Structure 1
Amino acid sequence: MDSSFPDLEVDLREFNESYFMESSSCNIVSLAMSLLSIIIAFIGLAENAIVLWHLGFHMHRNAFAVYILNLAVANFLFLCTHIVFSLETITVNFHSINTYIILFLNTMCTLAYLAGVSMITAISVEYWLSVIWSNWYHGRRPKHTSAFICTLLWAVSFLLSLPHEIICGLLDNIYNWGICWKFKLIIVVWLLVVFVVLSLSNQALLFRIFCGSQQTPMTRLFVTIVLTALVVLICGFPFGICIYFLYWTTDVYFIMPCNSFHETIFLLSAVNSCANPIICLLVGSIKHCQFQCGSLRLILQRAIQDTPEEEDEEVEEVVEQEGGEEDEEDEETTTL
């Protein structure tokens, strides 16, 4: 009798055991990353809700606050869809989501993502214009420019997202492959344009602040914009490149252990949507190189204030007076 059969059985048994252990560990890694994404997304929802509440109802909005308000809306919508998709990944073995619901969620996810990265670019470009052409910006800039640009960016994002999801999602078959590829290519081109403009505008800002012949004071708004743009470049754009450019390149999903490339990209996108409120809180809390506490409204007002730190005391007094007046109005309403 051939003695190689027992060895073959042992090898097969060892292979099956190692494969089972590897697949189990990979499932644990995937589950852990999905749960971490959900936790970060819920934290981001609370943060962006706070920003929406204060900027939307309790603060005077300047040109840049309008952008940050719309950015918070985009991040909030993106995190909502992110949570649903993460929960669907965890519970995929228990139930399936309706096709039309998936279409709606994909459209909202793409819309919010494109609007978010576009808002960051618009903020960076407008701040660069305010530094380069300060006299024109403060004297001749139309009053509702920020609202108009935000509306335009939302419209462009919607026109890019809805046809893409209908063609590539609802009507996905071999005959629509070429059309779907073209829509994805259009989105990738838009993302590349946004990436280049965002990178160049921030480089120009840094050069102007630190190396320019004319001394330009650094403001908290400048720090907020640069840090937010840096997070978007590192954590935000990989999501778009992965979803829309590497859609048919399956080899990229195997470059990380346990094929966790997709989970990693989703985790980074959740971090990106949570970053802006945290940056605003950190930048607004620092005063004279020290952390100082205060109301959330005051901290947010500091973070978006385009004035040198020495001039912020006047703005803070105005904000505190407005806060005191609102508190008195609330007490009168409660008494009545």
Structure 2
Amino acid sequence: MSNGSLGSWSTSNASWEDIGAENGTDLLTPQDGFDHGSLPYRIANILISVSILLISIFGLMGNGTVIWFLGFCMKRNPFTTFILHLAAADLGTLICLIFFAIVSLLWSFSLLPWYVYNLFMSFGTIPLLFMYNTGQYLLIAISMDRCVSVVFPLWHRCHRPPYFSTLVCVSIWIISFLFTAIDIFTPYTDFYQFLMNAILCLPLMTLSTMVLFIKVYFRSQKWKKGKALTAILLALLVFLFLAFPFTCILLICFFTPVTDYNVQSVAISVGLLCSCLNSSINPLIYFLIGRNKRAQSRESMKVILQRLFKEEENCREKREVPVQTQM
């Protein structure tokens, strides 16, 4: 994996040799890596790193709760299988971001040797890219599955293979792992991954979101608007606004010659912060959409998840009974 594949949160985005060669100087020392002019960028990186650390902690709690209840306390269905794997990918992404934030803070306060920092930023991006891409592909699979369920509800209910969700999730994990493994040995593979994300994944995600929104809120007013579908729509919208800026920023960094490593560092930090928010907000969406606003007492997360993810199945069953009766 190339050293500058994901970038870093400081001017060591490129190796010290590259920076020295570009400036016509010898190998830079750690003290030479920052000057007085880069102090505002260092402060910005520190603030962003602290924000990522705090948000990730709450995201870990939320996704961990979802994994616990969906994986061990509730009966799984094809829909919750997708949600369970998505929560696991988000959890892995947040764990990687926590390590990135800690290492960045240690480096910013000169508590970590520069070669350790450079080594971590070079190889620590591997699990982050793995989890990031896996979560993205899983959300695309969820959006396509929901599109089929609202456009062809009878086929989705009666002719869908029983273990389809599990097979799709396992396949996504394997494909994402293979892409990441190839990236270790082949330079610029991650560039093509992000290019594929922008050219293929973004249009698919946008199209799925538009189909779901139009089908449910405009053309299907007689259908009951399930809370689960509303939660997925919100998750898709959040993903489009938060996750893809990370991909776009990295592609811009690949295409644009680096003139200021400080600016590039802050830009990548903002992209990572958006990804952190995206991986942390889904449990909050489930809670806000699934809770009973009229309930006097405080409901447990298990009750909220049960109501949220079972309501969609119940709504589909009610819609399909008349169709099956006519047949």
Q: What TM-score, normalized by structure 1, do the two folds share?
A: 0.74
Q: Of residues 39, 46, 55 in structure 2, which corresponds to 1:40?
A: 55
Q: Is the 8 A contact 1:55 1:61 kept in 2?
A: yes
Cα offset, 1:28, TM superposition: 2.2
Q: Does 1:61 align with 2:76?
A: yes
Q: Of residues 129, 133, 138 in structure 2, which corresponds to 1:110?
A: 129
Q: What are the within-5 Å matches in structure 2 for residues 84-103 of structure 1?
A: 84-92=99-107, 93=110, 94-95=112-113, 96-97=115-116
Cα offset, 1:211, TM superposition: 2.2
Q: Of residues 292, 298, 306 in structure 2, which corresponds to 1:293?
A: 298
Cα offset, 1:300, TM superposition: 1.3
What is the distance in 2 between the residues matched to 1:297 and 1:213? Answer: 30
Residues 135-187 of structure 1 deviation map (CA, whole Å, 9 limit, x = unaligned): 1111111110000000111111112222123333xxxxxxxxxxx2x552244
Residues 49-68 of structure 1 deviation map (CA, whole Å, 9 limit, x = unaligned): 11111111001111111111
Q: Is the 8 A contact 2:249 2:267 kept in 1?
A: no
Task: Work out which structure has the larger RCO, using CA pairs closer than 8 Å and 6 or more positions apart in sequence.
Answer: 2
Q: Secondary structure at the match of 1:293?
A: coil
Q: What are the within-5 Å matches in structure 2 for residues 211-250 of structure 1?
A: 211-212=218-219, 215-244=222-251, 246-250=253-257
Q: Secondary structure at the match of 1:260?
A: helix
**1:267 equivalent in structure 2:** 273
What is the distance in 1 between the residues matched to 2:219 and 2:297? Answer: 31
Residues 297-320 of structure 1 deviation map (CA, whole Å, 9 limit, x = unaligned): 111122223439999xxxxxxxxx
250 and 262 in structure 1: CA distance in 2 versus 1, 3 angstrom threshold: farther
Residues 273-305 of structure 1 deviation map (CA, whole Å, 9 limit, x = unaligned): 0011110111111446x7973111111122223
When you count helix as a share of all residues, which structure comes out higher? 1
Structure number, greater radius of gyration: 1
**1:161 equivalent in structure 2:** 180
What is the distance in 2 between the residues matched to 1:47 and 1:189? Answer: 30
Aligned length: 278
Cα offset, 1:89, TM superposition: 1.4
Bigger mean CA offset, 214-223 vs 243-252: 243-252
**1:305 equivalent in structure 2:** 310
Residues 117-145 of structure 1 deviation map (CA, whole Å, 9 limit, x = unaligned): 11111111101101111111111111100
Q: Which runs of 5+ in 2 are unaligned?
A: 1-34, 317-327
Q: Is the 8 A contact 2:66 2:87 kept in 1?
A: yes
192 and 216 in structure 1: CA distance in 2 versus 1, 3 angstrom threshold: farther
**1:276 equivalent in structure 2:** 282
Q: Does 1:198 align with 2:205?
A: yes
Residues 76-95 of structure 1 deviation map (CA, whole Å, 9 limit, x = unaligned): 11111111111111222322
Percentage of matched positions with identical amino acids = 25
Cα offset, 1:251, TM superposition: 5.7
What is the distance in 2 between the residues matched to 1:54 and 1:30? Answer: 36
Q: Which amino acid aligns with 1:301?
A: Q
Q: Is the 8 A contact 2:59 2:279 kept in 1?
A: yes
Residues 13-65 of structure 1 deviation map (CA, whole Å, 9 limit, x = unaligned): xxxxxx94x64343222211111111111111111111111111001111111
Q: Which amino acid aligns with 1:277?
A: P
Cα offset, 1:106, TM superposition: 1.9
260 and 98 in structure 1: CA distance in 2 versus 1, 3 angstrom threshold: closer
Q: Is the 8 A contact 1:222 1:306 kept in 2?
A: no
Q: Is the 8 A contact 2:205 2:236 kept in 1?
A: yes
Q: Is the 8 A contact 1:185 1:244 kept in 2?
A: no
Cα offset, 1:216, TM superposition: 2.8
Bigger mean CA offset, 63-72 vs 279-288: 279-288
Q: Which amino acid aligns with 1:76?
A: L
Q: Which amino acid aligns with 2:248?
A: I
What is the distance in 1 between the residues matched to 2:313 and 2:164? Answer: 24
What is the distance in 2 between the residues matched to 1:310 and 1:252? Answer: 56
Q: CA RMSD in A?
A: 2.9
**1:79 equivalent in structure 2:** 94
Q: What TM-score, normalized by structure 2, do the two folds share?
A: 0.76
Q: Which amino acid aligns with 1:120?
A: L
Q: Is the 8 A contact 1:48 1:75 kept in 2?
A: yes
Cα offset, 1:73, TM superposition: 0.7
Q: Does 1:147 align with 2:166?
A: yes
218 and 308 in structure 1: CA distance in 2 versus 1, 3 angstrom threshold: farther
